[in-house]
Amino acid sequence: MAAIIGIDFDNTIASYDELLFRAAVDRGLIPAGADRTKRAVRDRIRLLPGGEIEWQKLQALLYGPLMPGARQTDGVDDFIRWCRGAGITVFIVSHKTQYANYDETGTDLRTAALEWMAAQRFFDAAGLGLRPGDVFFESTREDKIARIRTLGCSHFIDDLEEVFLEPSFPANVQRILYAPAAASRDAAAAPAVVLRSWQAVRDYFAHCCA
């Protein structure tokens, strides 16, 4: 049976690391010489007084008004094109509410994501060849997992191990953790195949679905 691949969106398809770093520096939350990785920025902000709220405000900016400045993770476009050529169905399934609690602009986060994908030619026949109907936004993690099940995904790719640790995650779906910064010890502990680049993801599927 042909593979049906589900892919998470935030930090799996869309990368915010540089955008996050610049926004955090601009808001005076971290110094300009700080570590630029998302995890380092997040952890540093959360240590501040009221840091959890500041982190949520920053996320609201990234996924809303600043969304046009996000970039594709390296190689994800090549992987999706490869899937098209191999006859593999691809869906994008994201845990994304319509609005963020701390976004004063009232930006529709789902519309912002779809507009970003359109600008990146996700929906062009000569681009990545997906349809807007192949993209699903869910209000809770539980709804996201239910959607993965309903779509009949054979594999799901996510950057959050917590998704795969949910008891409701279907046992018959192969878990693939997209983890560019993962250490070897993380790979041993994760309940998933841990892959550190989209080229590695493509190589995995070329082998397992050939």
Give the pLDDT of residue 184.
43
**Does residue 53 carry a pLDDT above 90?**
yes
| Sheet containing strand 89-95, strands side by side | 135-138, 89-95, 4-7, 155-158, 174-178, 193-195
Give the pLDDT of residue 187.
47
Give the pLDDT of residue 190.
56
Query: What number is the average pLDDT over the span 90-116?
Result: 95
Q: What is the mean pLDDT of the chain?
A: 92
Distance (Å, whole) CA 130 – CA 195: 23
Indicate the pTM of the whole model.
0.92
Band (95; pLDDT cuts 50, 70, 90): very high
**Does residue 16 carry a pLDDT above 50?**
yes
Q: Do the Cβ atoms of 131 and 140 come closer than 8 Å?
A: no
Query: What number is the average pLDDT over the span 121-145?
Result: 97
